[in-house]
Amino acid sequence: MATKPAIVKSEERPAPKRQEPSALANSFERVTDLWATFTRFLSDVRAETRKVVTPSRREVQATTTVVIVSVFIFGLFFFLVDWIFGRGLHALLIRLGGVRS
């Protein structure tokens, strides 16, 4: 006769609980992460600074001229728009009786 196979019951043991890091370990990890982030930032800044090119004297003079001319053109434009609106508003107020000329 055949014997019943023996069923071996494996004892399932729970995995050992992973200990949470202590507060000191957490703060040390945060400091090292901050330091790594800061050094990465500084290396990025250094890489970008190397890409900066100083403009020539001719380029500076050309852009300065463009800026000065643009300022005068916009100044004249806004002066004219203000003058036109001022005259129109004054005429409207005279017609409505708010201002006596």
pLDDT, one tens digit per residue, over 11-21 is 666 666 666 66
Q: Which parts of the chain sit beneath pLDDT 70?
A: 1-21, 23, 101
> Which residue intervals of 1-101 are DSSP H helices?
23-50, 57-96
pTM: 0.50
| Angle 17-19-20 from CA coordinates, rounded to 5° | 130
What is residue 1's predicted lDDT score, i.e. its pLDDT?
53
Helix (H, G, I), strand (E, B) or coil at 89: helix
Cα distance between the two ends of the chain: 130
Give domain limits for the chain: 24-53, 54-101
Q: Determine the pLDDT at residue 71.
A: 98
Give the pLDDT score at 2.
55
Q: Measured between alpha carbons, how far is residue 42 from residues 32, 47, 78 in Å?
A: 15, 9, 45
pLDDT score at 26: 78
Cα–Cα distances in angstroms (integers) from residue 49 to residues 38, 42, 44, 45, 72, in the given order = 16, 10, 9, 6, 34
